[in-house]
Amino acid sequence: MLRKLSITLIVFLFMLPPFFIWGAAGISYAELTKENLKKREKLRNAVNRGVLSIYDIPFEIYVKLEMWTEIGFIFEANNKNMIKYKLPGVYYSRPYIVNNKVWIFENAANGEIYIFDPDTLRFSDKLKNEAYAKYAGGVRKIFGNTVISGGSDKDVDAAVIWDTDINEVRTIKLGAGHYVGSIEVEGNTLYISSCGEVINAWDYDTLEFSGNYSANQDNADWNKKECITGIRIIHDKLIGVGEKTVFVWDIEGQNLLKTYPKALNNSIVFFYKKYMVEYKNNRFAVRNLENEKLIKKIKAEKSIEDLIVTSKRILANHRDELLILALRHNKGLLFYDFNTLKLIKKIEAKGESLTAHKHTIFATDDRHVYKYDIAYKDEEKYQNFLETIRPNNIALNKNTYYQLLRRLLYYPEIIEKSWISKNFLALHELSVSHSFKYGKIGERFVSDDTDNPDDDSGGKSPNPGNRYKEDVYGYKAVYEVRNTSDNRYFVRMAAAWSGEYGKASAYDDESWEAKDDSKRGFAKQSFFIAPNKGKYKNQFEVGEKEPVNLIIYPMRIEKVSEGYYKGLMNALSHKNEDISLIDKYIGDKLIKDWHDKLTQRKNEILKNKEKDSGFWPF
């Protein structure tokens, strides 16, 4: 049936997430015809029925119908879908969701809880309790607003219970066994497993010890027995998972009913509903705990760091439960359909410990917390969508350019591919060209403490500790803007580059602002260009290596009168004494890059007037 739809309808129907609302404020409708308004309305009404994917709509159609929010959504879904926050210390817990907040525990003595907003990953608060912070055994369970952790060092047989609502801390000692393993709360009973094949039980409210579940009557030599590291309650049975064995007890009678071997010795376990998932190295296995049958063993492509199962809709095109693997050494995330255990997706991502919340994944490593919103990320479809960008089919005007630039500002390669910057310059009879120049770009301090493989002394400096300056050589991008129109323009240009380049440098060249990181460099400058074959030249550093890609594009072009331009030059002149003229331009946001110089000149005038009006005695 879909193929029978008209071409017009096909390119106007696509699927959107249920939480996303089209028609947001700020979209311009003024230049659309009634026919196109109807098409857009028809499109948006059909979108929620999922007739087409968002990626099936050509770029030019989005532009024609002024669907700026939709364009921004597609690019953000595939490029800005990861947020990272750098934590101040080292060694942190997995993320936990508590009261719709992300909690992360500092795994260190006197550690704190860092709390983040799950939507923005903005740090919002810290929690700390001095009594709780004395125990650095790590979080074992979060039950409501209560955090239960293990002890450490001399307190390895202690569990610490912190009610964060009332900021109360209680501790209990194991009745049998050694070392606090896994913790579970069911009904009003607190279960804590330990080494020695034992699970201890307490009344949760009173912390009165109610007995233990043991695999052996002889509890004397716990060191020769397995450590139980996982607890699960299925119906009337208490299940404890050791290093090699699964133990099953009758909850009421505390009797050991049976044991059976794990699928993977010394594996880590994750429980989900009636299932247990074991993982070790690059293998994982799924077992039904009700009938004790092993469902499947699977080999992943690399070693597994962490594993979760979730019913959250993490992927847009997958509604069933997902099993998600975090591969060791930040090698990415693997997504399996939990019912079929078939691999359905892989993404590049960092993080060693995972949790799922709403439609997102949170992950932590030793230094960072990450948020991944990948529901609508689809690399293959996104690349196909980019192929629909055809410059000649984009009807460009001032409004269209600025709307597109607003959405594509962080994707300069798309600006270049679409030719929108080149065409927008051409609308104003402007053009830009550039080249690279190699030479000295600065100096840096070098320490003799650094090993030198070319040194005859065996790679070590004969004068360790000396510091000296050395010249730094690299590349500058030299660009020229030409104006063949009859108009004088104010132009705000931006430059973006990627590839290998040097460390960040300080720029102090007129109004240049520049910054760079390990992936991209960015610079911008405002200037005026004269009419009738006027030219403007400038340059900026890009680093020690020539960048792979560089694009120079306009962020703003405004026609200005000769009177406006001459007035600004007069206001900046050292001969100017007219403060009202300076104030006129200081209030103009267009030339904000000149505000500091205008303010400086104003202060000079006021200072001179104050000096001239001073009191002189006769």
| Residue 453 scores a pLDDT above 60 | no
pLDDT value at residue 465:
56
- The residue type of 361 is I
Residue with the larger pLDDT of the pair 358 and 549: 358
Joined together, the tokens standing for residue 295 give: 């469902």
Contact, 320 vs 344, CB < 8 A? Answer: no
- Distance between CA atoms of residues 485 and 558, nearest Å: 13
Q: What is the pLDDT of residues 511-546, one digit of tens each?
A: 334 444 445 788 899 999 999 999 999 999 888 888
Residue with the larger pLDDT of the pair 288 and 382: 288
Q: What is the pLDDT of residues 167-203, one digit of tens each?
A: 999 999 988 878 899 999 999 999 999 999 999 999 9
| Topology, domain 428-446+469-560 | Immunoglobulin-like (2.60.40)
- Specify whether the backbone of 521 is left (phi greater than 0), alpha (psi in -120 to 50) or beta: beta
pLDDT value at residue 519:
58
Joined together, the tokens standing for residue 92 give: 């942190």
Q: Spell out the residues 6+ positions from residue 575 whose beta carbon is closer than 8 angstroms to its own.
A: none
- Distance between CA atoms of residues 605 and 576, nearest Å: 8
Contact, 12 vs 61, CB < 8 A? Answer: yes
Residue with the larger pLDDT of the pair 454 and 467: 467
Q: What is the pLDDT of residues 489-503, one digit of tens each?
A: 999 999 988 765 333
| Residue 310 scores a pLDDT above 70 | yes
For 13-38, what is the mean pLDDT? Answer: 52
CA 162 to the chain's CA centroid? 31
Helix (H, G, I), strand (E, B) or coil at 314: coil
Residue with the larger pLDDT of the pair 70 and 370: 370
Helix (H, G, I), strand (E, B) or coil at 210: strand
Q: Strand 168-173 and strand 178-186: pairing?
A: unpaired
For 598-614, what is the mean pLDDT? Answer: 84
pLDDT value at residue 614:
55
For 61-80, what is the mean pLDDT? Answer: 87
Residue with the larger pLDDT of the pair 318 and 478: 478
| Residue 240 scores a pLDDT above 70 | yes
Pick from 325, 547, 330, 335: nearest CA to 435: 547
- C-alpha distances in Å from residue 610, one per residue of 232, 261, 606: 82, 92, 6
Handedness of CA 277, 151, 90, 87 (dihedral sign): positive
**pLDDT grade, residue 508 (50/70/90)?**
very low
Share of the chain above pLDDT 70, in %: 86
The DSSP code for 284 is: E
Q: Strand 513-516 and strand 333-337: pairing?
A: unpaired
- Distance between CA atoms of residues 146 and 132, nearest Å: 12
| Residue 38 scores a pLDDT above 70 | yes
| Residue 26 scores a pLDDT above 60 | no
Residue with the larger pLDDT of the pair 305 and 11: 305
pLDDT value at residue 505:
34
Q: Show me where the domains of the chain are located.
A: 2-78+379-386, 270-375, 428-446+469-560, 564-608
DSSP percent split of the chain into helix, strand, coil, nearest 5: 20, 40, 40
| Residue 459 scores a pLDDT above 80 | no
pLDDT value at residue 18:
34
The string over 103-131, giving b where at least 16 C-beta atoms fall within 10 Å of a residue's C-beta and e elsewhere, is bbbbbeeebbbbbbebeebebeeebebee
| Residue 13 scores a pLDDT above 60 | no
pLDDT value at residue 502:
37
Helix (H) or strand (E) holding 278: strand 275-280
Q: What is the pLDDT of residues 260-293, one digit of tens each?
A: 999 999 999 999 999 999 999 999 999 999 999 9
- Specify whether the backbone of 79 is left (phi greater than 0), alpha (psi in -120 to 50) or beta: alpha
Average pLDDT, the chain: 84
pLDDT value at residue 77:
86
Task: Give the CATH number of domain 270-375.
Answer: 2.130.10.10
